[in-house]
Amino acid sequence: MKVIANWKMHGFKEDYLHWYKNLSKTADENLFDDLGIAPPFTLLDECKIHQSKIKLGAQNISHLPEGPVTGEISAAMIKNSGANFVILGHSERRELHTETEEVIKSKILEASNHNIHPVLCIGEPKEIYAAKKTEDFLYSQLQGSLNDLNNINLSIAYEPIWAIGTGDVAKPSDINKIHSIIKEICSREFDVKLENIIYGGSVNDQNSKEIFEQEHVNGALIGGASLDGHSFGRIANNFFEIHNG
Q: How far is the CB of 210 from ligand PEP (least distance, A)?
A: 16
Q: Judged by CB under 6 A, which stretch of 108-116, 148-156, 185-193, 218-226 contacts ligand PEP?
A: 218-226
Q: How far is the CB of 201 from ligand PEP (least distance, A)?
A: 5
Q: Is 92 a catalytic residue?
A: no
Out of 61, 86, 182, 203, the only residue in the binding site for ligand PEP (CB under 6 A) is: 203
Q: Which is nearer to ligand PEP, 4 or 29 (CB)?
A: 4
Under rule CB under 6 A, residue 40 binds ligand PEP: no
Q: Is 90 a catalytic residue?
A: yes
> What dihedral do alpha carbons 91, 223, 55, 142 form, nearest 10°?
-20
Catalytic position from the list 63, 90, 114, 179: 90
Under rule CB under 6 A, residue 224 binds ligand PEP: yes
d(C-alpha 89, C-alpha 118), whole Å: 10
Catalytic position from the list 101, 110, 124, 159: 159
Under rule CB under 6 A, residue 6 binds ligand PEP: yes
Under rule CB under 6 A, residue 219 binds ligand PEP: no
d(C-alpha 232, C-alpha 240), whole Å: 12
- Each residue 150-169 as x (binds ligand PEP by CB under 6 A) or -, in order, gives ---------x----xx----
Footprint of ligand PEP (CB under 6 A): 6, 159, 164-165, 200-203, 221-225
Q: Which residues are catalytic?
A: 90, 159
